[in-house]
Amino acid sequence: MGISTYLETEILNAVLRATAYATPATVYLALFQADPTDVGTGELALSNYARQAITFAAPSKAGSDPTACLNSNNVQFPAAGASWGTINYIGIYDAVSGGNLLYHGALTAPKSVAKGEVCTFYAGEITATLQ
C-alpha cells in the first residue's frame, strides 16, 4: 500500500522538523472500486457500507522484505444492502468518517460483493510499509 501525501507530510514534519503528529487512536479500513489516489476519492457510498476498525501488529522484517505491519484482526464489513460491485482498492483512514487518508493500495485479487454478502479481510492479509 502507498502512503498518502497527507501522511508523508506528517512524517517528514515529525521526524525532520520536530512538529508533533497526533497519532489516531483507531484507524479504519475503507473500500473503493477505483484507485482513490492520494486524496481518497471514490470511497463506496452504498447500502450498509461503513468503514471498519482495523488493528496492526508491531512492525517486523521477514527475509529481504521491507519492514512491514500486518493487520492483526479480521475486518468484517456489514452485509451489503445492495450490490457493492467489485472492490479493487482499499484505504486506511484516521477517522470512521471524513478524516485523512493514510494509506491506499490495490487488492491482489478483487472482491465482488453482492447483495447480502459480507466482505471480510482476515488477519495478515493487509500489509502496510513506509515505501
Domain ranges within the chain, ordered by starting residue: 2-129
pLDDT tens for residues 6-25? Answer: 999 999 999 999 999 999 99
Residue 42 pLDDT exceeds 70: yes
E runs forming strands in 24-123: 27-32, 52-54, 68-70, 75-76, 85-93, 101-113, 120-121
pLDDT tens for residues 80-126? Answer: 999 999 999 999 999 999 999 999 999 999 999 999 999 999 999 99
Q: Which three cell numbers stand for residue 66?
A: 521491507
User: The whole model's pTM is what?
Assistant: 0.92
Q: Which three cell numbers stand for residue 35?
A: 484507485
